[in-house]
Structure 1
Amino acid sequence: MKTSIYYFLCILLFTTSVKVSIAQNQVYWREGFQPDQGSTLTTVNPTSITPTPTTDVTYYFAGVGGSWWARNVYSTTGTGCPTGNPHPRFRNMGTNGTFDSNTLITPVVHQGIQEFHFSRARASRSYSIWVTSDTAALSTNWTFVTNLGSYINPLCTDTTVVVASPTAKRLKIVMRAGIDADIDSIWLTSYSAITLPVKFGNIHAIESNNAIKLSWNVLSEVNTAYYNIEKLTNDNFKTVGTIKATNASKYSFIDVNPVSNQNVYRIKAVDKDGQVSYSSTTILQRNSIIKPSLSVFPNPVVNGNLNFQINNLPKGIYRANVFDATGKVIYTKVILYEGGVLSQSVQLINLTTSGNYYLQITDGQITLNESLMVHKGI
């Protein structure tokens, strides 16, 4: 019986979303470049890597929408929308712009690009916007869209650029050479109809005053009507609460009737047309002494879809690192842990081969490790 329940829970932890047909000019994703939403944009200033610049600093990084590409760009909180918010800064690398080629390229989309939106976080800056029908960030086949002068909009207000390209798959933002510049809150809309599930972020459960508080992040919410909070009872999920969708980035619910041992939850998103999608599942164990733990389900990890759960660590800021067999870090993410049980789903975009890897959760004092077997291309 215990074995069957274990496998049942493993399956539940990774239920995939039912996809929803969305109309034209709908949002693919909204990228806020927040570490707790999966952004791995480096915080290392490129000039600290090449203090006397002769070459550009380039790399891929993960975000809400997938794999981004950056040249001479890093994450800072020096300005932002609002002030202090993590966001990209294009770094002036050379004298009078000699070595500058500051660029940010969005993840691949598949139904064209109708509109590009962003917020300007520093005054008197200008940009050029380009698109390509190729999927490769390093493509040489870019089509110019427009120049945006420094006068184009006030600080920290949404700027809309009409692209109207049915074939565009990536968009490139190029900063004017010779200056630093800051932007924030980037999003794209589709040229044609897209198929898109609600995209969940973290789901978190914590016990307080003989109740359990659930909270979850939503990274993409289009056409959603409401959320059902579901709890496992006698091997079946039953609805214990409903919350109306308000286009918020975070929701919460309090279960005032938790059971004395294992409480298993998931969130069901219901769209206005009746389509549904599910979050990952989170498990909270009550009334027992639980050691800090890290678990991965399922293991082996397939196609880079890593799902893990941490439990009973001290509250604080942790870093999740994935290492390959040589000890090279292939993924890193900052986690704000508020106690209780925290479930995370991430995409390992830099995997090149199948094999043995390991996941590490650490705050510098406490470290948890878990071995991973990765199957790529299955």
Structure 2
Amino acid sequence: MKKIIILSGILFSAIMAKAQSVDLTKLLQDINGANVAFYTTNEQGGAINTYADVSWGDGFGVANRAFIQSLRNVVLPITLSKFNAKKDAEAVNLTWTTAMEKNALHFEIRRSTDGKKFEQIATVGAKGNSDSPVNYSFRDAKPASGTNYYQLKSVDRDGTFTTSIIVAVQFDLSKTEVTIMANSANQTIKVNVYSPVTKAASFAVVDVSGKVLLRVKNISLQKGNNALEYTLNAAPQLLIGLLSSANDKSAYKFYY
């Protein structure tokens, strides 16, 4: 009995020693179900060209077979390759891409104002099974004032889930914000104004010398997002947009 225990200990040590030499590329291929027959070797060190004698797992034989089996049993439903959040007027656009999906069910979109306590604000269905990139998006139309933290919870059909990295967007809902998109070829400018309240305003465009190129009075801004468009007859150059109301005045540089 003592000899058996000693031999078992030696075998265990040998297994642990071999486990430390895992080829991560082969490991990943096998976990993801790739054709590892052309990327591995048998226990004698020879190349494997068929599945007849594949010592599946990592190409190093029985040392890691149990470990690989455990990974196969808990393979993640979704491999997330990208997750972004971008402010868009009074909303936040979330976009993400999966590199692979296996029996995926849906994504739970979670939001937090402190980066610690998250609440679910929406659910987006997953494609389910895919070996190629899949793109998703969601628009949060009611972000909180201040910093908004977002996280994805990817859920499998059997209840398995993973959570993504956390992304953040700063949102000041008490401040007027302006985005100007100009196209000198078409002689137009598009002005996107986010206003925290309903108010009257005026808009002007001047060049760097102060010459007024456009002036629009009595603009009625509604609370939220306002889309404005004007014709501007001017040469390509650096210009300044001026938005004025009873309580504030802001200047925005843009190239025409």
For the criterion TM > 0.5, the same-fold answer is: no
Higher relative contact order (CA 8 A, sep 6+): 1
Structure with more helix by fraction: 2
TM-score range, shorter chain: 0.3 to 0.5
CA radius of gyration, larger in:
2
